[in-house]
């Protein structure tokens, strides 16, 4: 919640803006995301906002997208119009299409790149889980049905092995299990861990430790006693684990949906429930007292339900989180840690941010959006220095630098001159 400001010292920010506008360097434009509402210090924009998406994953320099309407497409994020179509498993879809209504009783569960980089693994499930499949598809549009696994939900690779989370019990029996996938057509998948509950995604860190957010619901589908857990790499190699073998990292307020670990070891996750407790979070046991930080909540007005998520880079410094919510809005939301100084979240540090900072100067009980870039709860000279040092920066956040470049000195001096002038003018 945004608390009321304790102090409100007016400033002539219109004069300030006029004095510094000629320093501005154009940056890419970004409207507010329709999919998410970003958290304090985060920004978001929507990609492919004209397409309703059932599943997606990052794939090379682009993004792979699956929709019931268009099938599998490989899209260049810089040039979405140049997409390639890889089709769909026509025989599978035809076998499960109602001839009278045209309704297809098949849903995309996950999409994961093969470690080779030249193909994708795609899972599908049905309402009754009688013919759930996992395909591998290559650039020629050849769909190979590699294996079946009832209730498959997510697949991740580590050390050349494929690991899948699935709930073979379907809607009636919450008995989710993590398997090491058998791709020899024998379907003899090895049990890694019996985690219980409904299905959720899994993730690995660079050392091979496995992360999973549990999804337990009561008879009214309310979340109960959910945790973010971690299995050590050595335990994963042994397999036949239970929930008691896991290390509990922190409590989840809603049912786990997915988890990933970025290049810097940040644990990125999202949760869903039927009462509006959905959010995207970031956790690092060495930061913020080991408490998760909220990166985004749903932005739509309907019934939100986040998809599996993707991360790239270090989400605390230049990386991105990607997530969709096909129940509320088309496209994919890209969530980033804003550059220090970007108060209004438009992915550029410019005169608009300087005006915000000037208007909040001296206030306490403030947030990033008010100009508190160093997180000390007030707007002051350090925040002005941070803004100046990052002038014209886009979504390439580094540590909040407070040593301005030469142009930053000019901006900082101008800002402080306007503020001081305002104060003397009031006496």
Q: Which residues is 279 bridged to in the sheet? A: 271
Give the separation between CA 158 and CA 140, rounded to whole angstroms.
Answer: 25
DSSP string, 229-248: EEE-HHHHHH--EEGGGSEE
Angle at 135 (CA atoms; ends 130, 139), nearest 5 degrees: 155
Q: How many other CB atoms sit within 10 Å of the CB of residue 79? A: 9
Which strands, in side-by-side order, build the sheet including 267-272?
36-38, 293-298, 279-283, 267-272, 255-261
Closest CA to 247 of 255, 236, 258, 237: 236
Give the separation between CA 282 and CA 293, rounded to whole angstroms.
Answer: 5
Read off φ and ψ for residue 396, nearest 5 degrees: -125, 60
Is the domain defined by 42-337 classed in CATH 3.40.50.150? no
Tens place of pLDDT for every residue, the chain, 427 residues? 333 333 333 333 333 333 333 233 223 334 589 999 999 999 999 998 888 999 999 999 899 999 998 999 999 877 777 789 999 999 999 999 999 999 999 999 999 999 999 999 999 999 999 999 999 999 889 999 989 999 999 999 999 999 999 998 776 677 999 999 997 778 899 999 999 999 999 999 999 999 999 999 887 788 999 999 999 999 999 999 999 999 999 999 999 999 999 999 999 999 999 888 999 999 998 876 678 999 999 997 778 999 999 999 999 988 999 999 988 889 999 999 998 999 988 888 998 999 998 999 999 999 999 999 998 999 999 999 999 988 877 664 444 444 444 444 455 555 555 554 554 454 4
Tell me what pLDDT residue 327 has.
84
SS3 262: coil
Give the separation between CA 185 and CA 103, rounded to whole angstroms.
Answer: 29
Tell me what pLDDT residue 16 has.
34
Long-range contact set of residues 75-83: C-beta below 8 Å, sequence gap at least 24: 75/48, 77/47, 80/47, 80/48
Q: Which residue ranges make up each domain of the chain?
A: 13-29+340-425, 42-337
Give the separation between CA 58 and CA 384, rounded to whole angstroms.
Answer: 37
């Amino acid at each position: 919640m945004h608390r009321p400001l304790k102090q409100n010292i007016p400033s002539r920010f219109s004069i300030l803006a006029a004095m510094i506008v000629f320093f501005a360097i154009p940056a890419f434009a970004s409207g507010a995301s329709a999919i998410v509402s970003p958290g304090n210090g985060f920004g978001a924009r929507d990609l492919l906002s004209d397409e309703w998406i059932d599943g997606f994953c990052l794939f090379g320099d682009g993004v792979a997208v699956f929709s019931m309407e268009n099938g599998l497409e490989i899209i260049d994020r810089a040039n979405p119009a140049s997409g390639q179509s890889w089709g769909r498993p026509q025989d599978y879809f035809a076998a499960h299409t109602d001839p009278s209504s045209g309704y297809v009783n098949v849903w995309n569960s996950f999409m994961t790149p093969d470690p080779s980089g030249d193909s994708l693994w795609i899972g599908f499930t049905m309402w009754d889980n009688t013919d759930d499949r996992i395909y591998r598809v290559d650039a020629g549009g050849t769909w190979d049905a590699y294996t079946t696994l009832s209730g498959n939900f997510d697949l991740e690779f580590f050390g050349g092995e494929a690991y899948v989370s699935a709930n073979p019990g379907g809607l009636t029996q919450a008995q989710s299990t993590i398997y090491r996938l058998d791709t020899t057509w024998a379907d003899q998948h090895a049990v890694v861990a019996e985690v219980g509950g409904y299905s959720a995604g899994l993730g690995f860190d660079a050392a091979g430790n496995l992360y999973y957010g549990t999804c337990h619901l009561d008879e009214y589908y309310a979340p109960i006693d959910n945790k973010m857990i971690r299995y050590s790499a050595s335990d994963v190699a042994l397999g036949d684990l239970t929930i008691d073998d896991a290390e509990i990292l922190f409590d989840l307020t809603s049912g786990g949906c997915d988890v990933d670990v970025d290049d810097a070891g940040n644990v990125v996750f999202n949760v869903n429930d039927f009462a509006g407790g959905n959010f995207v979070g970031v956790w690092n046991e060495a930061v913020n007292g080991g408490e998760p930080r909220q990166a985004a909540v749903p932005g739509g007005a309907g019934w939100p339900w986040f998809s599996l998520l993707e991360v790239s880079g270090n989400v605390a410094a230049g990386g991105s989180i990607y997530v969709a919510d096909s129940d509320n809005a088309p496209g994919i939301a890209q969530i980033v840690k804003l550059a220090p100084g970007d108060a209004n979240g438009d992915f550029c540090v410019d005169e608009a941010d300087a005006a915000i900072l000037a208007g909040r100067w001296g206030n306490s009980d403030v947030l990033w959006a008010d100009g508190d870039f160093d997180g000390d709860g007030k707007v002051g000279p350090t925040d002005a220095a941070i803004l100046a040092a990052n002038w014209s920066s886009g979504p390439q956040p580094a540590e909040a630098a407070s040593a301005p470049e030469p142009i930053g000195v000019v901006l900082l001096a101008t800002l402080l001159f306007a503020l001081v002038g305002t104060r003397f003018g009031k006496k």
